[in-house]
Amino acid sequence: MNKRVAIVGWRGMVGSVLVDRMREEQLFSHIDPVFCSTSQAGAPAPDLGIDLPPLADAYDVSTLCDTDIVVSCQGGDYSTRMHEEVRKAGYRGAWIDAASALRMRNDSVIVLDPVNQPVMDRARAAGVVDYIGGNCTVSLLLMAIGGLFRQQWVEWVSTMTYQAASGAGARQMRELIAQMDHLSAACRATLKDPGASALDLERTLSAALRGEAMPTEALGHPLAASLLPWIDRGVEHGATREEWKGHVECNKILGNDPEIPVDGICVRVGSMRCHAQAVTIKLRQDVPLDEIEHVLHESTPWTRIVPNTREATLEKLTPAAVSGTLDIPVGRIHKLRMGPEYLGLFTVGDQLLWGAAEPLLRTLQWLL
């Protein structure tokens, strides 16, 4: 008999990527989906070419309790409230979630099966039923370099991120394009003037960038033609919560004891849906580069080594090349001047696929 699966948050950004991937994987032939909404109960379910009842109320405890698995991409407030309500009501089904709300609880596991299948297996055997997707930057980092941790070669990691607008939300993505549009309109006349210099253009652009008419309602500041070196709220030691997640989530995903330091600076840039990271790794010993590349290449079927050449890097190691794919390219791999134990590399990944929806999809497949 098919399992009943409640799907909450399916029309959001992560949820719609998840539903697309579920269709591609033909998962809807193996489950009885119950599409839920926090705002549109009773409206028609999405058109998937199958017979579906109208949308259920995502706040109805008995609806959720009547399923075998809940998949939520709705957001942290929803998860905090409804997870507690259904568990209090005795629900023992699996709860799969994209939000961070339940991630660091002792009784949940962060899912990233190409990297931590043994941790997931142990958790399931121990009765864990809350399966939470990791922070997008963390999941993408571990899809890239998880193999080095598995070899126990890593003493510490410092990652400097270049994070896409999609990680901030749908409104922020739209606003980034609105900002580009505003800037391009402001510069159009100067750009067409053959006598105008590059500095004339820059002055026109900077005036528009700082002007009152620049749309910044969602992002708070100009992101187009700029960048924002602060993501989420501040926490202790001058770090941001996004940077804190790098350490705590990496270590939880890998089941590290003792913990391995992971730290850096997280920066929002004007790419649309790919996060990139420049990573410095202090190795425990001097491992030859060909061995490192071999381990990275073997670590997951999606991790791809990009040769450290100008042509390959600019063709394959950019958000433009990776967006919308499951590939996790790792390139610029070389030893740094600090010494043979210092490894530098660069990686890019689609933050809505491996960064969000894909681990949830695969957890659902695994549980089914």
Catalytic residue annotation:
136, 275
Q: Which is nearer to ligand NAP, 78 or 91 (CB)?
A: 78
Q: Is 166 in the site for ligand NAP (CB under 6 A)?
A: yes
Give the whole-angstrom CA distance, residue 267 versus residue 230: 6
CB of residue 36 to ligand NAP, shortest distance in Å: 7
Q: Which is nearer to ligand NAP, 79 or 204 (CB)?
A: 79
Residue of closest CB approach to ligand NAP: 12
Strand partners, 264: 159
Strand partners, 228: 268
Give the whole-angstrom CA distance, residue 220 versus residue 337: 38
What does the DSSP 8-state code read for residue 27? Answer: G
Specify whether the CB–CB gap between 306 and 120 falls below 8 A.
no
Enumerate residues 227-266 that contact ligand NAP by CB under 6 A. none
Characterise 164 by phi-psi region: left (phi > 0), alpha (psi -120 to 50), beta (else). beta
Q: Which is nearer to ligand NAP, 186 or 250 (CB)?
A: 250
Q: Is 269 in the site for ligand NAP (CB under 6 A)?
A: no
The number of residues that bind ligand NAP (CB under 6 A) is 27
Give the whole-angstrom CA distance, residue 252 versus residue 247: 9
CB of residue 294 to ligand NAP, shortest distance in Å: 31
Specify whether the CB–CB gap between 109 and 44 falls below 8 A.
no
Amino acid (one-letter) located at 160: M
What character string, x for contact with ligand NAP (CB under 6 A) and - otherwise, covers 1-40?
--------x-xxxxx---------------------xxxx
Q: Is 46 in the site for ligand NAP (CB under 6 A)?
A: no
- Which tokens belong to 200? 């004339």
CB of residue 285 to ligand NAP, shortest distance in Å: 35
Query: What φ, ψ does residue 168 adopt, rounded to 5°?
Result: -85, -25
Tokens 């450290």 sit on residue: 308
Q: Which is nearer to ligand NAP, 273 or 282 (CB)?
A: 273
Enumerate residues 287-326 that contact ligand NAP by CB under 6 A. none
- Select from 120-128, 142-150, 166-174, 254-262 the region that touches ligand NAP (CB under 6 A): 166-174
CB of residue 196 to ligand NAP, shortest distance in Å: 39
Nearest to 117 by CA among 368, 366, 330, 328: 366
Q: Is 140 in the site for ligand NAP (CB under 6 A)?
A: no
290 CB contacts (<8 Å, ≥6 apart)?
none
Specify whether the CB–CB gap between 297 and 305 falls below 8 A.
yes
Which residue from 352, 353, 360, 364 is in contact with ligand NAP, where contact means CB under 6 A?
352
- Which tokens belong to 205? 């652009």
Strand partners, 342: 282
CB of residue 164 to ligand NAP, shortest distance in Å: 8
Which residue from 86, 136, 186, 281 is in contact with ligand NAP, where contact means CB under 6 A?
136
Q: 69-72 and 94-97: which strand pairing?
A: parallel
Q: Which is nearer to ligand NAP, 79 or 179 (CB)?
A: 79
Q: Is 75 in the site for ligand NAP (CB under 6 A)?
A: yes
Give the whole-angstrom CA distance, residue 253 versus residue 111: 7
- Which tokens belong to 164? 């896409």
Amino acid (one-letter) located at 15: G
Which residue from 7, 19, 31, 58 is in contact with ligand NAP, where contact means CB under 6 A?
58
CB of residue 101 to ligand NAP, shortest distance in Å: 7
- Which tokens belong to 68? 């075998």
Sites of contact with ligand NAP (CB under 6 A): 9, 11-15, 37-40, 58, 73-76, 98-100, 136, 166-167, 169-170, 351-352, 355-356
